[in-house]
Amino acid sequence: MNVHVTGAWTEERTRHAAKLWRDGLTASQIAAALGGISRNAVIGKATRNPDLFAPRRGVAPRIARPANVKQHAPKPKATAAIFRAPPKRVAAPPVTAPERPHGLFRHRDLSIDGATPIAFALIDRLQCSWPLTDFEDGDGPDMPCCGRPRRGGLAPDSAYCAEHAAVSRGAA
């Protein structure tokens, strides 16, 4: 969320921030002193007004490292005894999916008497799109479909005629 506070930077606050900047205060300290302004707002103001907020020269003082820091012993060099060849892996036998009987999901026998099958590519939005082939046979634009009027005419909740809608719900 991008929040801009209108009037947060008045001319007086800008001059006061510039004075604190010249006195060596950090952006966080200036923001705390002014109140209601973030550290990033102070940095942005300093970046956009280099004439008021002179760039600071020099590097921040380094903190001396304590003398009693324990030095790590050098790592021992690797010997041939440490690095052995990894054990040979025995490949597991390939896992294959159990075969299911062909035609487990049969649609071929679900055509309705008196219905003329129509190619899937020729079905319009008012016709049943129940496929009349088995799932294993694949699909495509030439796949034969029921083609009878859909259940409820323009009902958006079904792509099938009443009979095939019942089959899809397991009611038939």
> Which residues are CB-neighbours of 37 under 8 A, at least 6 positions away?
8, 9, 13, 30, 31
DSSP 118: E
Quick: pLDDT tens for 6-55: 568 999 999 999 999 999 899 999 999 998 899 999 999 999 998 988 88
CA distances from 25 to 1, 43, 57, 108 (A): 28, 12, 14, 83
Q: Which of 65, 71, 26, 75 has the alpha carbon at shortest distance from 46? A: 26
11 token code pair: 């001319």
Quick: pLDDT tens for 109-123: 566 777 788 888 898
Q: Where are the domains of the chain?
A: 11-48, 105-172
Q: How many other C-beta atoms are found inside a 10 Å radius of the C-beta of residue 114?
A: 6
